[in-house]
Structure 1
Amino acid sequence: MSTLTHGPAPTAPPGHPDHDRGTRRSSSTPRLSGTAWLVWRQHRAAYWTVIALTLLGVLAMVYLRGQLMDQLDALDSSTRKSDGLPPDFEKYTNRLSSFGGFLGYVPILVGVFLGAPLVAGDLESGTAKLVTSQSVSRLRWLTTKYAVTAALIALSTAVLGTVFSWWWSPLRGRADTLEWTSGTFFDSTGVMPVAYALLTFTVGVAVGLVLRRTLVSMVVTLGIVGAIGVVWDRFRLDLGHIRTVSTESGVGSGATRPELPTEAVQQGQGTDFLTSSGAHLDWTTCVEKSDNTQAHTACLESKHVVGWSMDYLPASQMHPMQWLGAAIMLTITAAFLAFIIPKSRNRLL
């Protein structure tokens, strides 16, 4: 009959050569012990899978970035200094975007396959009742399971996000498909991967604690995490402060439209009209008279249009927006933890 506890290994008596060797080994090698060792032992298959996938992802990104840099080094000096990329670079940008899209699924996978079964599996199999009937308290068992898994998730997502950002950096701002405002890059770089994954993981743990069934918890967690993703995609860019660039040289054929700063991303449906009072009119204003140049010009003049106006988000706001978004997600994570900890006193039975 197997148990969840283990006694210390027999040691040689003092003075024996093996006694000093064992003492040196135990003092120099850090090892998990107690409840942390039990948690690692119980979930070692999942933990090693996470570590292996992280290493494979890092190796793949390092290899693909090496190919990218070889091609960038092969460009002539004039092309290398320009903002654009030659047409044959599309396959490299597509690889980057595709890998970033894969990283976007990491929070979903973490919530469904790590968060939901973490406690629900113990409740369903009776492991939680067995463990908590020993000398380990319910709260200690839950907090250790959560802390060990959360630490591994945070480390893995931080490594993946850092390497992905390193891969993206040579191409940043040089193609329209690599805009920093897209979820592919905004959610997969900086502090965002860690905060997002911890949120979905904690949601999964809370769902498993309430429903107590592994499969049901995984399905419900998938729905909740999917809803979180939809809401986040809708409001992510609202974290930034939109800026405006405008011209007052007219809107005729010889007038120039405003230019955006480097790596800035235009917001809205298009370039608006600017009136003498400073008001903005939609670009569709007087569009019904666009077939007649004179009528179209007269219509715009009647509305006192003096130039163009364009809203944008500067690249300098990316990191502040990421930190603000991460703070919101970690606050929600803390709220779920405040729900989980009191519940653990009664649910782990």
Structure 2
Amino acid sequence: MSTFTSPSTDGKNGTTNRTMNGTMNATTHGAGNETTRHPRLSGMTWLVWRQHRAAYWTVLAATVLCVAWMIYQRAQMMDFLHAYGFPAKNLDDAGKQFDPYSGAFTSVTTGLTAIPVILGVLLGAPLFAGDLENGTAKLIAAQSVSRNRWLATKLALTGLVVTVTTVTLSAVFAWWWNPIKPHYTDIDWTSREFFNTTGPAPVALSLLSVFGGVLIGVILRRTLAAMVVTLGFTVALQMVWGHFKLSLGDIVTATSKPISPGGMITFPEVPRTAHVIDTSYVSGSGKLFDLTTCTDTLSEEATTSCMKKADIVGGSIDYIPISQMSSMQWFGASTLFALTAGIVAFLFIWGRKRLV
């Protein structure tokens, strides 16, 4: 039961009313300031975050745990390096002493290389496929929000989570690896465990995997089917990337100087951490011969005679120095970013018509 009090001319009542009004105004003003000081998600952004918050928080929490583990492992490695006397002492002579730290690299890089696949299957594929399968897309299409805005918000928020995650992991892992990067030859920097987990490579691979999964989900409109196909797509992407990544660099050829006929064949020195692509003999005219040349002879004299007949005077090594790693990653990543942009554009031009 509500009551109505007529305005009073009594001084006391007037003072009370003015005090209450002032308090309400101050409270409202304070609430407005609090809202300004602490912005919160609202509208479509809030809806998308709430719908996928379990997946987003899982990804972010896993990132924090992985970062903490890498920071701990780096501290352990640096303690060992200081006690060992690195870099004054060659790390290659450490042998089994460095095995625990090398094993830590292996365990972490195995997980990091799987991130694009995991994000593509578990985050990209169900992003719209679930809404299309259970009818949520029709409900949203019936509202005042346009499909373009719905599509843009979902893609932007998901892309932001993926970018923050992969950039953080890439930066921390590079920070962990950098102290021994130019010195430890047992680590192949061209392997997917290291090339795909530092710099822009993991970011580009993850975004293409996720948005490729989104497109697959929009086409198939079934969550489970989209996840299975996306798994195949992300694995194929990793294989193609691994096949072409070495072509991103400029091959450097080092050739030993010609020696006197009958002398020992020597090979040129290359940087310690260089990735050797090919090694061969070279003749006086510059022709290259495989290392199996003259190996079918039965005696040293016959081998020497074979070498003289082929006019082999030295050795040649084709390699890619580790100094090209960053430029190779950026060159390859730019291609992957362009493909990702093409998928996003295709989703807006054609895919939005299927979001009902």
TM-score, normalising length: structure 1: 0.91
Q: What is residue 225 of structure 1 aligned with on the other side?
A: 234
Question: Could you report, residue by residue, the CA deviation over 1:302-343 in whole angstroms, capped at 9, with x for unpaired residues?
Answer: 111110111100111111100011011011111211221122
Quote the offset at 1:91 in angstroms: 1.8
Counterpart secondary structure, 2:273: coil
Quote the offset at 1:252 in angstroms: 6.7
Specify which of 316, 321, 333 is matched with residue 340 of structure 2.
333
Quote the offset at 1:263 in angstroms: 2.2
Question: Could you report, residue by residue, the CA deviation over 1:104-137 in whole angstroms, capped at 9, with x for unpaired residues?
Answer: 0000001000000000011011111111211111
Does 2:276 match 1:266?
Answer: yes
Question: Could you report, residue by residue, the CA deviation over 1:240-271 in whole angstroms, capped at 9, with x for unpaired residues?
Answer: 11111111244977454211124211113xx2
Contact 1:138 1:344 in 2 (8 A): no
Q: What is residue 316 of structure 2 aligned with on the other side?
A: 309
Counterpart secondary structure, 1:175: coil
Aligned CA RMSD, in angstroms, stands at 1.8
Specify which of 191, 212, 229 is matched with residue 221 of structure 2.
212
Q: What is residue 154 of structure 1 aligned with on the other side?
A: 163
Counterpart secondary structure, 1:241: coil
Specify which of 303, 323, 337 is matched with residue 330 of structure 2.
323
Does 2:197 match 1:188?
Answer: yes
Separation in 2, partners of 1:36, 1:103:
29
Contact 1:172 1:179 in 2 (8 A): no
Specify which of 95, 98, 109 is matched with residue 89 of structure 1.
98
Counterpart secondary structure, 1:170: coil
| Correspondence 1:3-42 to 2 at 5 A | 16=24, 17-42=26-51
Question: Could you report, residue by residue, the CA deviation over 1:148-180 in whole angstroms, capped at 9, with x for unpaired residues?
Answer: 010110011000000001111122133333121
Does 2:304 match 1:297?
Answer: yes
Does 2:133 match 1:136?
Answer: no
Greater Cα radius of gyration, structure 1 or 2: 2
Does 2:283 match 1:275?
Answer: yes
Q: Structure 1: which 5+ runs fail to align? A: 1-11
Does 2:115 match 1:106?
Answer: yes
Quote the offset at 1:32 in angstroms: 1.4
Contact 1:142 1:344 in 2 (8 A): no
Q: Structure 2: which 5+ runs fail to align? A: 1-19
Quote the offset at 1:185 in angstroms: 0.8
Letter of the structure 2 residue corresponding to residue 183 of structure 1: R
Bigger mean CA deviation after superposition, 241-250 or 143-152? 241-250
TM-score, normalising length: structure 2: 0.90
Counterpart secondary structure, 1:267: strand
Separation in 1, partners of 2:240, 2:186:
22
Counterpart secondary structure, 1:286: coil
Counterpart secondary structure, 1:171: coil
Specify which of 225, 235, 245 is matched with residue 254 of structure 2.
245
Letter of the structure 2 residue corresponding to residue 207 of structure 1: I
